[in-house]
A and B are shown apart, each in its own frame.
Chain A
Amino acid sequence: MATETLILPDHPAAVAPLRQKLGHDDWIMRGAVVALGLWLIITVLLPLWALLSKSFQAADGRFVGLANFQAYFASPALADSIWHSVWVSLLSTVICVLLAFVYAYGLTRTCMPGRGLFRIIAQIPILAPSLLPAISLVYLFGNQGLVKWMLFGASIYGPIGIVMGEVFWTFPHALIIITTALAISDARLYEAAEALRASPRRTFWTVTLPGARYGLISAVFVVFTLVITDFGVPKVIGGKFNVLATDIYKQVVGQQNFQIGAVVGLLLLLPAALAFVVDQLMQRRQLALLSARAVPYAPRPDATIDRAMLAICSLIAFAILVILGVSFFASIATFWPYNLTPSFKNFDFDMMDGGGWRSYFNSLVMAGLTALFGTAVIFTGAYLVEKTPRFRAVRGFVQFLALLPLAVPGLVLGLGYIFFFNNPANPLNFIYGTMAILVICTISHFYSVSHLTAVTALKQIDQEFETVSASLRVPFWRTFMRVTLPVCLPAVLDIAMYLFVNAMTTVSAVVFIYAPHTTLAAIAVLNMDDAGDVAPAAAMAMVVFATAAVTRAIYMLLTQGYLARAQMWRKR
């Protein structure tokens, strides 16, 4: 470079950059982003803060530093549950991820028959509360279990039952992640390996596995977090085997010891937060693996592999169906296994503890409201965070708040809600014990995944719609309603369904904040099982499952039928 000819000695460096005047749209959008930020602060951040501060306080609210933590670790029974939680979660994770990998491999990399059916069967566990597999396992391997002999004298009540139940319940979560990782691989790598005469085994170890490694790591962390923070399975089948999640419940609901509950909650926050960070990193790398020019891999038939995979996948699918089937038959039999005459006696929920049919209708209302308001808030929120011009710092913070719930286990969130909303000094105290708090808590609990779905959809549409509208002097909300929302309708329905199904099946967050008149179906399962009414508990779990399954089916019909017609414009 030639030397600078123009050097201004005392350049007035302090001249402030020009600031654009704010238009109508800017004011409204910024106001809405701030409102969303406040909403998330109240429904996510402050409850977490309440939990955090509670763990450093004595029962009377004095600051006691780490005294609660010392008390916790000093109690051998409580400290034991950390170890229990860790090894049970590790074992469940290893088994679940291995099975999911094999299953996903069969689905994406082979030509085995019935892949569509296998895909559907694998989704079954997502539609049921985590209590359902535990109840089925009790029927199978419990004291009066059908096939108790298969355990060779070992007891299902304890780690064995927990691991089996958790593997069932987390299987679809691992499967989705690993299937995605295996599906986005580059066929050209396989062609290159073949051209270089690599053996199939070598290709598997040098191409397939490395290609899916980020998905596998991500699945490991997600499953581990789900298991260590799950409360349904150990509650039903854990017996005297204490884990962190049941400890929280016992400390808080049983002994009203909120301080120790808060300590355990913080301990559970650690693996979840770690999993969150790792997952974010892995997803970024996984996407980077796939270049724009990659050619999708199309498996070729191979009789040996296809048959072997069919056998293994059938076995896994069979296990899933058996677990679902046991609950189903237990619920429609008069007194299983002794009197197998079909009856609806077990569905007479009004005669049992747990809130009766009212719990179910509460759940429907709660799930409906969650889907309705949750979808509206989350999609609009994602739009604002994505499309508000400039305003970077605030948007970044709101984005962080929107992703935060992903790192917070339901139990921890629920606990935070008690501490925050049950505080008489809180002006929002009035919503405690209402349906509203259940809806708000559930929206917050499942906020992040829905937010990410919305953001992905918004990123896929043309980034210049807003500019064009502004140049045509059309207010942003008009374009949002007329263009953005209709174009993103599939994603919007996706979010609504996700929220509905999860609101139907969730136990972990709401178990702390329901009131006698707002009991929910999944909680009724828990309470009936607790009271020894196992068959009715199974029946209620089946009702929840059926509701979720029907919703899902309606959703599929909608997306394939009506949506296809309403979205004619997508066709060429």
Chain B
Amino acid sequence: MDSMPTTEPYLRIRNLSKKFGAFTALDTVDLDIMPGEFVSFLGPSGCGKTTLLRAISGLDVQTAGSIHQGGRDISTLPVAKRDFGIVFQSYALFPNLTIKDNVAYGLVSAGTPRIEIDKRVKELLELVGLPEQAGKYPAQLSGGQQQRVALARALALSPGLLLLDEPLSALDARVRARLRGEIRDLQQRLQLTTIMVTHDQEEALTMSDRIVVMSNGRIEQVGTPDEIYGRPATAFVADFVGKMNFLEGRLVTSKRADVRGAVLDFSEEVPLAEGAAVTVCLRPEDVVVRDIGEHSHNRLSVQVGVMEFIGNHFATTLHASGTGLNFSADFSINAVRDLGISSGATIEVALPPKRLRVFAQSRSATA
């Protein structure tokens, strides 16, 4: 492959809106997807992620706006004139055709010679790790195997774009975790531009190059999994992805807030007037208990509440002494063991200013 970074996006979405009667399912969405990128659309049901996928595939064309794929305007093209492979949650495998015939389905219609079809089917089944199953019917395979057949079928015509619509939702947890890695691996080997719709944040975080978090038909944030998790752009993203403490307070300076009597510093400047109502966001796992001495800011003396054993960590609620501040914290097993943390004890913790996110409280409709 060319090592020069391509700056031209493979998929360019501009001003995309979709209305169903009075309901706005997509509200002027702009999005660029780079060649070879794995992008997830993440959000709660009804956020517009599926609508966006259906617009890209041409199943439900948008009310307004444009979509360009590989430089070609596909905004109003019928499904069959577009270039994508698709895998559904239900797999939609043809139950009366063998695995081989399922995978070969598009090739036969394309008029590919039989020898080449056989070769390509073999190749594809090997690619998805099912070389032995060609003669079976879909019902004879497990859910995970069916999913891989669906993937092979979608890849048969070497599409420029792969669309995955909640591809793993119908599988049990163990198979899901394994397939996550396999799909991601395959996508990287093929350098195939891929869009996945999911409501499962773990899936989005583990598989994607970038995640598009959506709510109410709008894009809340586009970013790498790291950015989405560590630097959520809005309170919605902070709430939707991972666990989060939402602490209400007032701004003292642009880098400091009074949160129920506790004064917290943060490294990011907040462009709001003094006294403005803000929400300070803190992930439970960002509460530091070890090597407290290294932290000069936001050190709090706290009382430990009930310790809940989750398996790989403890979850607990901390009460900052002398203030009205309560927040939840996750402690690793070995920290609890080493420091002898127990319910009712008073310990010292630090909240690293870098890890605090502060939002204006205007969107407090959720509170």
**Chain A 1-21 residues near chain B, CB threshold 8 A:** 1-2, 15, 17-21
Q: Judging by beta carbons under 8 Å apart, are A20 and B58 in contact?
A: yes
Among A20, A465, A471, A567, point to the contact of B76 (Cβ < 8 A).
Answer: A20
Q: How many residues of A contact B (CB 8 A)?
A: 36
B140 within 8 A of A: yes
Among A15, A18, A467, point to the contact of B59 (Cβ < 8 A).
Answer: A467
CA distance A467 to B105 in the complex (A): 13
CA distance A475 to B81 in the complex (A): 11
Render B143-186 as a binary contact track against A, CB cut-off 8 A, 1 for contact.
Answer: 00000000001101101000000000000000000000000000
Among B64, B109, B362, B363, point to the contact of A17 (Cβ < 8 A).
Answer: B64
CA distance A435 to B47 in the complex (A): 58
B106 within 8 A of A: yes
Question: Which stretch of B85-93, B249-257, B340-348 is in the interface?
Answer: B85-93
A546 within 8 A of B: no
CA distance A472 to B152 in the complex (A): 12
Q: Judging by beta carbons under 8 Å apart, are A483 and B94 in contact?
A: yes
CA distance A569 to B99 in the complex (A): 11
CB nearest neighbor in A for B365: A1
B74 → chain A, closest Cβ, in Å? 10
Q: Judging by beta carbons under 8 Å apart, are B78 and A572 in contact?
A: no
**Chain B 78-132 residues near chain A, CB threshold 8 A:** 78-82, 84-86, 88, 90, 92, 94-97, 105-106, 109-110
Given A2-B363, A472-B157, are A465 and B92 also a contact pair (CB < 8 Å)? yes
Q: Judging by beta carbons under 8 Å apart, are A464 and B140 in contact?
A: no
CA distance A19 to B139 in the complex (A): 39
Chain B interfacial positions (CB closer than 8 Å to A): 19, 57-59, 61-65, 75-82, 84-86, 88, 90, 92, 94-97, 105-106, 109-110, 137-140, 153-154, 156-157, 159, 362-363, 365
12 contacts between A and B (CB under 8 A): A2-B362, A25-B80, A464-B88, A468-B88, A470-B78, A471-B84, A471-B154, A472-B105, A475-B80, A571-B139, A572-B139, A572-B140
Q: Judging by beta carbons under 8 Å apart, are B365 and A472 in contact?
A: no
CB nearest neighbor in A for B154: A471
Closest 6 CB pairs of A and B: A472-B106, A23-B78, A464-B92, A470-B79, A569-B137, A20-B61
CB nearest neighbor in B for A2: B362
Q: Judging by beta carbons under 8 Å apart, are B365 and A2 in contact?
A: yes
CA distance A465 to B81 in the complex (A): 17
Chain B residues lying within 8 Å of A464, measured Cβ to Cβ, are 88, 90, 92
Among A17, A25, A568, point to the contact of B137 (Cβ < 8 A).
Answer: A568
Q: Judging by beta carbons under 8 Å apart, are A475 and B109 in contact?
A: yes
Q: Judging by beta carbons under 8 Å apart, are A23 and B81 in contact?
A: yes
Chain A residues lying within 8 Å of B156, measured Cβ to Cβ, are 472
Chain A residues lying within 8 Å of B75, measured Cβ to Cβ, are 18
CA distance A467 to B80 in the complex (A): 9
A486 within 8 A of B: yes
CA distance A21 to B110 in the complex (A): 22
CB nearest neighbor in B for A485: B96
**Chain A 516-572 residues near chain B, CB threshold 8 A:** 567-572
Chain A residues lying within 8 Å of B94, measured Cβ to Cβ, are 465, 482-483, 487
Q: Judging by beta carbons under 8 Å apart, are B86 and A468 in contact?
A: yes
Among A25, A468, A487, A567, point to the contact of B78 (Cβ < 8 A).
Answer: A25
CB nearest neighbor in A for B66: A18
Q: Judging by beta carbons under 8 Å apart, are A467 and B110 in contact?
A: no
**Chain A 465-485 residues near chain B, CB threshold 8 A:** 465, 467-475, 478, 482-483
CB nearest neighbor in B for A483: B94
Q: Judging by beta carbons under 8 Å apart, are B86 and A18 in contact?
A: no
Chain A interfacial positions (CB closer than 8 Å to B): 1-2, 15, 17-26, 462, 464-465, 467-475, 478, 482-483, 486-487, 567-572
CA distance A472 to B77 in the complex (A): 15
CA distance A180 to B116 in the complex (A): 52
CB nearest neighbor in B for A471: B86
Chain A residues lying within 8 Å of B79, measured Cβ to Cβ, are 23, 467, 470-471
Chain B residues lying within 8 Å of A472, measured Cβ to Cβ, are 85, 105-106, 109, 153, 156-157
CA distance A462 to B139 in the complex (A): 14
Q: Judging by beta carbons under 8 Å apart, are B97 and A473 in contact?
A: no
Chain B residues lying within 8 Å of A471, measured Cβ to Cβ, are 57, 79-80, 82, 84-86, 154, 159
CA distance A546 to B70 in the complex (A): 67
Q: Judging by beta carbons under 8 Å apart, are A462 and B90 in contact?
A: yes
A124 → chain B, closest Cβ, in Å? 35
CB nearest neighbor in B for A461: B95
CA distance A25 to B77 in the complex (A): 13
Chain B residues lying within 8 Å of A21, measured Cβ to Cβ, are 76-78, 81
CA distance A1 to B363 in the complex (A): 7
CA distance A2 to B79 in the complex (A): 39
B128 → chain A, closest Cβ, in Å? 16
Chain B residues lying within 8 Å of A462, measured Cβ to Cβ, are 90, 92
Chain A residues lying within 8 Å of B80, measured Cβ to Cβ, are 23-25, 470-471, 473, 475
Chain B residues lying within 8 Å of A467, measured Cβ to Cβ, are 57, 59, 79, 86, 88, 92
A567 → chain B, closest Cβ, in Å? 8
A41 → chain B, closest Cβ, in Å? 28
CA distance A246 to B139 in the complex (A): 55
B155 → chain A, closest Cβ, in Å? 11
Chain B residues lying within 8 Å of A24, measured Cβ to Cβ, are 80
Q: Judging by beta carbons under 8 Å apart, are A474 and B106 in contact?
A: yes
B204 → chain A, closest Cβ, in Å? 22
Q: Judging by beta carbons under 8 Å apart, are A487 and B95 in contact?
A: yes
A182 → chain B, closest Cβ, in Å? 31
